Structure 1
Amino acid sequence: MFDYKGLTALITGASSGMGAEYARELAAQGSNLVLVARRLDRLEELATELRSAFGVTVTCLDRDLSATGAGRSLAEELLAQGTEIDVLINNAGFGTNGSVAEQDPDAVVNELNVNVVTVTELTTGLLPGMLKRDRGVIINMASLAAFQARANHALYSATKAYVLSFTEALWGETIGTNVRVTAVCPGPIATEFFSVAGTTPPGKPMEVSVPIKAALAAIDARKPFVIVAKPGMRIASKLIRMLPARVALKLGK
Structure 2
Amino acid sequence: MYEFKGMTALITGASSGMGAEYARELATQGSNLILVARRLDRLQDLATELNSRFGVSVTCLDRDLSVTGAGRSLVAELHSQGTVVDVLINNAGFGTSGSVAEQDPDAVVNELNVNVVTVTELTTGLLPGMLKRDRGVIINMASLAAFQARANHALYSATKAYVLSFTEALWAETISTNVRVTAVCPGPIATEFFSVAGTTPPGKPMDVAVPIKAALAAIDARKPFVIVAKPGMRIASKLIRMLPARIALRMGK
Classify the TM-score, shorter chain. over 0.9
Q: CA deviation at 1:40?
A: 0.1
Report percent identity of matched pairs: 90
Q: Are residue 117 (structure 1) and residue 128 (structure 2) matched?
A: no
Q: CA deviation at 1:202?
A: 0.2
Task: Name the CA distance, whole Å, in 2 between partners of 1:104 and 1:57.
Answer: 40
Q: Partner letter of residue 31 of structure 1?
A: S
Q: Which residue of 1 aligns with 2:249?
A: 249
SS at match of 1:27: helix
Q: CA deviation at 1:76?
A: 1.0
Q: CA deviation at 1:149?
A: 0.1
1:123-202 equivalent positions in 2, closer than 5 A = 123-202=123-202
Q: Partner letter of residue 83 of structure 1?
A: T
SS at match of 2:191: coil
Q: Partner letter of residue 247 of structure 2?
A: V
SS at match of 1:11: strand
**1:123-176 deviations in whole A, cap 9, x for unaligned?**
000000000000000000000000000000000000000000000000000000
Task: Name the CA distance, whole Å, in 1 between partners of 2:71 and 2:175.
Answer: 24
Task: Name the CA distance, whole Å, in 2 between partners of 1:44 and 1:249.
Answer: 43
What do you get for the CA RMSD once the two structures are aligned? 0.3
With structure 2 as the length reference, what TM-score do the two structures score?
A: 1.00
Q: Partner letter of residue 227 of structure 2?
A: I
Deviating 4+ runs (over 6 angstroms): none
Number of residue pairs aligned between Structure 1 and Structure 2: 253
With structure 1 as the length reference, what TM-score do the two structures score?
A: 1.00
Q: Which residue of 2 aligns with 1:84?
A: 84
SS at match of 2:9: strand
Q: Partner letter of residue 181 of structure 2?
A: V
Consecutive unaligned residues in structure 2, runs of 5 or more: none
**1:100-130 deviations in whole A, cap 9, x for unaligned?**
0000000000000000000000000000000
